[in-house]
Amino acid sequence: MITIQLSTQSPYRMEADVLVLLTHHARKQGILRGLDKRLDGHLSDQFQREEFEAKDGQKLSCNTLGKIEAPRLLLVGLGEKDDDMPQFRKAAASSIRAVKNWKPTSLAIAFAQSPKNLGPTIEGLALGAWLASYHFNHYKSGDNHDSPLKDLTLLLPARTSAAVRNDLEATLHRVRILAESIITARDLVNEPPNTLTPTELANRAEEMAAKVGLECDIFGPSELREWGMNLFLAVSVGSVEEPRLIHMRYIPKGRRKRKNAKVLALVGKGVTFDSGGLSIKPTSGMVGMHADMAGAAAVFGAIQAIAQLKPTIEVHCFIGATENMTGAAAYRINDIVKGYNGKFVEIKNTDAEGRLVLADTMAYAANQGVTEIIDVATLTGACLVALGPWTAGLMSNQQSMADNLLEASHSTGESIWQLPLIEELRPTLKSHTADLANVGGRYGGAITAGLFLREFVPEDLHWTHLDIAGPSFADKDLHHISKGGTGFGVTTLVQYTMKQK
């Protein structure tokens, strides 16, 4: 990760390969006027020639002709929107991408107009810069594919007090923890399936837990069999790779557990490769199915950050890790399997495997004394069709919990939209021979998947489901999002958790 530091140095005197200036308008006032004067009116000429109006995302670059310390200047428009964290995250990320071909080793970002609130501004700039500079090149041989950019300086207003500076340093430390956790999630999603097997995911969980101070238990087929987690096992039996149930715990130190205290469970679908099972996918549908564990990656990254940020509530993380393959022992269509909570499920599609893994994992989590469950999964293509590639679907049995998660997602800039659990669709999950089938009818596939999962959560336990099939993986770079695994969900889960008491 690049090094980010804060400074009150004058933008004119800042030694950096590129000076980035963020501005809401193109009027020659303040620093814009000073720059234009130092550049002998060259900036005014550029504004007129390129019709620069500081619209959101608009950019203008020029050589500073030795008139200030930085040899190159990049102006980035912010538009007329109110300042907020996502706006500055986007601005920093687009700046990092804009200067990529210049191959700078150092960058400085300054403000043409002082931000209204420095905290969210620094948070957004730092997070955007760290995430935009991410790239997964672990398996690229030959030339060095790392970016030469090593240092970024965020220039604060000259009159920033020492107290405010200290608060911003604390913000920077917190954002680095969050960025590292998102990058961890991205790395997990981007790993190939022959590397990131269920066993390897469990090994990495143990390593991470030891590093940040989490308790961690790993369970294999014998424990799953003993506990009756047969839905989870059914998905795994077609693969030579053994399944793993990962349980990590964050317990606040020095806090006596109150009666009726909130205990949050984060549950992630960890299908490290999904062939579709006997309902096999075509080749085109199988490409990218190493990313079917993005829900597991999200909760993995979230609890990594939570352990370091230390909220006041107890948090558990459960990951059901397995492959869904087509071996001789693979589960079949019309098999009837008994789940951990005692319900029998008829298998009508082996490519609807994630809900089976989640069903047993959530039922197990509910039996560990938690009071809230958030499950995260790349669960249905139907959610991607309904909401597009940038938005996750949310379903919940408790509206205030859903509202709090939606509020968290809004503040972090992650797009989440609530979908209804429509009771009229529940009959489509009926089976003539079992308690329910694992798929519903043709329509409302994301919702019927949510209705299926609800069957495995006790009625008195608050539960919210996040279907991240769309935003968990990106086909191209966009602002702070890099092609491949996005780490979607980490920031929302962390923000939600930090607000709980």
Length of the chain, please?
A: 501
Whether the CB-CB separation of 291 and 343 falls below 8 Å is answered with no
Which residue out of 281, 338, 426, 483 is catalytically annotated? 281
Quickly list DSSP for 242-287.
PPEEEEEEE--TT-PPPTT--EEEEEEEEEEEE--TTSPPPHHHHT
Whether the CB-CB separation of 219 and 206 falls below 8 Å is answered with no
Task: Report the 3 state secondary structure along 144-170.
Answer: CCCCCCCEEEEECCCCCCHHHHHHHHH
Whether the CB-CB separation of 449 and 394 falls below 8 Å is answered with no
Q: Torsion angle of alpha carbons 173, 178, 183, 188, nearest 10°?
A: 140
Residue with tokens 């369970």: 219
C-alpha to C-alpha distances, 395 to 3, 173, 279, 296, nearest whole angstrom: 39, 33, 27, 18
Tell me the residue type at 49.
R
Q: What is the distance, to the nearest Å, from the Cα of residue 191 to the centroid of all Cα atoms in its chain?
A: 16
Number of helices (H) and strands (E) in the chain: give both, helices first.
Answer: 15, 19
281 counts as catalytic = yes
- Rounded Cα distance between 89 and 76, Å, is 13
Which residue out of 89, 244, 355, 454 is catalytically annotated? 355
355 counts as catalytic = yes
**Nearest-10 crossing angle of helices 294-309, 490-499:** 40
The continuous run of DSSP H or E covering 452 comes out as helix 445-454
- Rounded Cα distance between 115 and 353, Å, is 48
Whether the CB-CB separation of 369 and 462 falls below 8 Å is answered with no
Cα-Cα-Cα-Cα dihedral sign, residues 130, 319, 308, 161: positive
Active site residues: 281, 355
